[in-house]
Amino acid sequence: MKGARRTLAAAVLVGVTAPLCASPAAAAPPPDVLQKRLDGLQDTVDGLDQRLAAEEKALVAAQSAAFSAAAQADLRKAAHDALVAEVAAAPQPVNLLQAAFLRITGSPTDELEQRRDAAGNVAARAAADAETARLAFQDAVDRVGHTRDLRARTTAQVRDVKDDLRDAYTYQGVTIWGSGTAAVATRAALDQLGDPYVWAAAGPDSFDCSGLVIWAWAQAGRPGLPHYTGALYDLGTKIARSALKPGDLVFFNSGRSHMGIYVGQGRFVHAPSSGDVVKITQLTDRRDYSGAVRL
């Protein structure tokens, strides 16, 4: 990467102040490796978001089913308890003769006892259903908790990898994230900060405005773009100024004879003119803005 982000003086100072016996720090993985890791982690987070949405929906359904089953079990138990009490309150035979007679003819209490037993069976099944629903609800709670925890840990890993990438992806306070063609091309252009403007040049060490663009996109895997601002404008999808994203191509003056690459924060990178170098400029510094496209 051209233009090391740490000055020679800072490097010397680090060398002077570092303990002589210190072990060399492990080299950080290169940006392309970190970017692949970041892409994978972000894909994982997206998948976990979808999974979490489905699990939270299932949790609501399981909670409703558990509440309904518990209420049904309470009702069945109450009905059984009422019959138990009714059987207990039924009058008993007053003597052996009456008891013998009731055994032969049948007692009103017999029907109550049959109803009580049937209600007991229903109450037992309802209690079992309620327990099953409760366990299903608890399982849903556990699944949601596990997925939320996994998402939190993965998100923390995303932050760590972004921290590792931030220095490599930051140029004069502008950070360009992502592995898409536009992001890679924009970083490639920013890597050329300080290279001289040369008319009709398209890299690798000097550029004109459209030459910087086509060289940067070639580094991102899209070679062969036309070395002409008008053709590049016609090639892209027109974008409103309010919708600009890093990587969009911005054009200037009525003939669109000058261009650059938007980098965010209202700024763009470009190779301005003879005697100047590739640099970042505020869009507001140009009163001749004439449009933007997205390749």
Report the catalytic residues: 209, 258, 270
Residues near 194 by Cβ (< 8 Å), separated by ≥ 6? 2, 3, 277, 278, 279
Instruction: Report DSSP letters for 140-182, one per residue.
Output: HHHHHHHHHHHHHHHHHHHHHHHHHHHHHHEETTEE---SSHH
d(CA 282, CA 264): 10
Coarse DSSP helix, strand, coil percentages of the chain, rounded to the nearest 5 percent: 60, 10, 30
Q: 269: part of which helix (H) or strand (E)?
A: strand 267-270
Closest CA to 126 of 118, 110, 83: 118
- Burial category of 58 from C-beta neighbours within 10 Å (exposed 0-12, middle 13-18, buried 19 and up): middle
Residue 290 carries which side chain, given as an amino acid letter?
S
